[in-house]
Amino acid sequence: MAQTNILLETGTNELEIVEFYVNQDGYEAHYGLNVAKVVEIGRRQPVTSMPEMRHPSILGAFLHRNQRVVPLIDMALFLDSKPIENEDAKVIVTEFNELCTAFLVSGVNRIYRLSWTDVEAPGQYLQNMSRSSVTGVVRLEDRVIFLLDLEAIVAELHPHMAMRFEESDMAQNVAKTYNILHVDDSRSIRKLLQDLLVKEGRFTVEQRVNGQEAWDYLRQLRRRCEEENRPISDFLHGIITDIEMPSMDGLALCKNIKEDPILKALPVAIFSSMINDSLARKCSVVNADAEFAKPDLKALADKLYDLITSTWG
């Protein structure tokens, strides 16, 4: 089953997920992936062992469409269960963070169109139990679907593919620092950006865990601007936001910001694992000022600094 081409209007806070299941020691666990990350769903592929496979869930690699070598991860083994052995098992080929990775699952059910308001943020207990690999929960009539953080899974299995940051050549003691709002539902990414951007010396960072919380915060700032007759730059200079988040996604957040007469002056950078030509066009539709794939932290910091200084001086 190839990736579907069902169209979603940009900025409407909708998503599509493909539901799959994994037989885990006698029961069926149901999970979901954003369709935007899915390249193809097909049959199990024979694999060739790779050197230095760090985790038993990495079964090896196969040649996808005679074009690129793709590692295959057994999701049951990753989840500390017995390996997937059913003959009708499926392989989900994904692409994100400029990486192509395949996941072996017991089966695939269907695609759902949802609103991000239907997605609940995982509680602390669930995050701890899943090693922070679950980013959202969807409740259906007869079951629960857990949305997986593929970036966290790949980073755990391939630490060298995790996000890294090369410090800027700019001096640490800069004349002026700028206040930015960072919005991301991933705890590890929030900590990484907070630590590295503050250390770099050009920014102070305020953070929120999803678009709705960020929008509520921005509306509070807007009220202060109106009540105190002050510009938004007295409080905030720019925004970095992920796309995939419970309650409100980054595209809907950006659309709201750019349609607001006071907040629209704030530069908005979309920072997501899903940036490709299609997503770049969607970022343009909501008038985002820049978009970056998540591994590129250095480019993000430099571009945001350029946007802010060109806007506010």
The answer to whether position 3 is within a domain reads no
Average pLDDT of the segment spanning 200-209: 91
Average pLDDT of the segment spanning 59-77: 90
Average pLDDT of the segment spanning 18-24: 93
Confidence (pTM): 0.78
Q: pLDDT value at position 7? A: 46
Q: Residue 205: is its pLDDT beyond 70?
A: yes
Average pLDDT of the segment spanning 128-151: 83
Q: pLDDT value at position 174? A: 63
Task: Say if residue 155 is in the same domain as residue 246.
Answer: no
Task: Say if residue 187 is in the same domain as residue 154.
Answer: no
Task: Say if residue 77 is in the same domain as residue 206.
Answer: no
Choose from 53-57, 149-153, 225-229 the range with maximum mean pLDDT. 225-229
Average pLDDT of the segment spanning 147-168: 67
Where does the pLDDT of residue 173 fall: very low under 50, low under 70, confident under 90, or very high at 90 and above? low
Residue with tokens 């919005």: 183
Nearest in space to 60 (alpha carbons), one of 119, 102, 96: 102
Is the Cα dihedral 185, 189, 190, 191 positive or negative? Answer: positive
The answer to whether position 44 is within a domain reads yes
Average pLDDT of the segment spanning 215-243: 96
Where does the pLDDT of residue 297 fall: very low under 50, low under 70, confident under 90, or very high at 90 and above? confident
Phi, psi of 186 (to 5 degrees): -85, 120
- C-alpha 123: how far from its chain's center? 18
Average pLDDT of the segment spanning 171-177: 64
Q: Residue 166: is its pLDDT beyond 60?
A: no
Q: pLDDT value at position 161? A: 53
Q: Residue 299: is its pLDDT beyond 90?
A: no
Where does the pLDDT of residue 99 fall: very low under 50, low under 70, confident under 90, or very high at 90 and above? confident
Nearest in space to 309 (alpha carbons), one of 233, 243, 241: 233
The answer to whether position 169 is within a domain reads no
Average pLDDT of the segment spanning 48-62: 84
CATH of residue 270's domain is 3.40.50.2300
**What is the rounded CA–CA span in Å between residue 309 and residue 313?**
4
Q: Residue 306: is its pLDDT beyond 50?
A: yes
Task: Say if residue 18 is in the same domain as residue 72.
Answer: yes
Within 13 Å and on the Cβ side, how many CA atoms surround 217?
17
Q: Are 91 and 108 in contact (CB under 8 A)?
A: no
Task: Say if residue 20 is in the same domain as residue 157.
Answer: yes
Q: pLDDT value at position 237? A: 97
Q: Which has the minimum average pLDDT: 14-18, 201-205, 273-277?
A: 273-277
What share of the chain in percent tops pLDDT 70?
Answer: 88
Task: Say if residue 216 is in the same domain as residue 260.
Answer: yes
Q: Which has the minimum average pLDDT: 22-26, 40-44, 135-139?
A: 22-26
Q: Residue 272: is its pLDDT beyond 80?
A: yes
Q: pLDDT value at position 51? A: 74
What share of the chain in percent tops pLDDT 90?
Answer: 51
Task: Say if residue 155 is in the same domain as residue 182.
Answer: no
Q: Give 272's strand partners.
A: 293
Average pLDDT of the segment spanning 261-282: 86
Looking at the 3D structure of the chain, how many domains does it have? Answer: 2
Q: pLDDT value at position 277? A: 74
Where does the pLDDT of residue 163 fall: very low under 50, low under 70, confident under 90, or very high at 90 and above? low
CATH of residue 106's domain is 2.40.50.180
Q: pLDDT value at position 6? A: 42
Task: Say if residue 194 is in the same domain as residue 303.
Answer: yes
Q: Residue 52: is its pLDDT beyond 80?
A: no
Measured CA distances, 265 to 99, 167, 237, 288 (Å)? 34, 28, 9, 11
Nearest in space to 208 (alpha carbons), one of 165, 242, 252: 242
Domain that holds residue 184: 178-312
Residue with tokens 């669930």: 126
H and E: helices and strands count for the chain:
8, 15
Q: Are 302 and 275 in contact (CB under 8 A)?
A: no
Mean pLDDT of the chain: 85
The answer to whether position 1 is within a domain reads no
Q: What's the token pair of residue 189?
A: 């990414």
Q: Residue 185: is its pLDDT beyond 70?
A: yes
